[in-house]
Amino acid sequence: MQDNIYLEKQSTDAKLIYTAGFLWNNINDKIDKTLKPYNLNSAKFNILMIIKHVGKDEGVQQNFISDKLLVTPSNITKMLDKLEAEELITRNDKKNDRRVKIIKITQKGIELLDKVWNEYKQTISNLSPKISEKDKESLLAALIKWQDNI
């Protein structure tokens, strides 16, 4: 971790939160660098993954995506506009309720995810090579416990 005099004076809780945020920023940067040649970023990639794997052939409601990614409805609309313009998704009104949009992934979107998947998986794998599986499992359990308490 970076040297930070400010952190030395903080509680363990504050150090943990700062480190988690700093780690996430670094991870997100690495993932975005992997996805950039495909005209994707982590947000667009995650949206496509949700639509493909949760929505399958039926699609998912727009607000479901927003809830799962903790993105405001206005921001998710902007991201979906971009994905639709790139012909990676379609948006249609829900039967009997035009206020609800059903989002489906297109064949072009599926092909893009298939194309990027191995490189993405390799990037994820390379982010923690020096951590033992036992330590990863312990860390995961602690993070899940932390999330459950929030």
Tell me the average pLDDT across 102-114.
96
112 Cα distance to chain centroid? 16
pLDDT tens string 31-72: 999 999 999 999 999 999 999 999 888 899 888 898 888 778
| pLDDT of 121 higher than 70 | yes
For the record, the structure tokens of 78 come out as 């902007």
**Is the separation of the CB atoms in 32 and 21 below 8 Å?**
no
pLDDT band at 3; cut points 50, 70, 90: low
Flag whether the pTM goes above 0.95.
no
Closest CA to 78 of 108, 53, 28, 44: 44
pLDDT band at 127; cut points 50, 70, 90: confident
User: Can you give the residue ranges of every domain in the chain?
Assistant: 10-125
One-letter amino acid at 86 equals E
Domain range 10-125, CATH class = mainly alpha
Contacts of 124 (CB under 8 A, 6+ apart): 31
**What is the structure's pLDDT at 128?**
81
107-112, long-range: CB < 8 A, 24+ apart? 109/48, 109/51, 109/52, 109/83, 110/52, 112/38, 112/40, 112/48, 112/88
| pLDDT of 103 higher than 70 | yes
pLDDT band at 4; cut points 50, 70, 90: low
Alpha-carbon span 30 to 62, nearest angstrom: 27
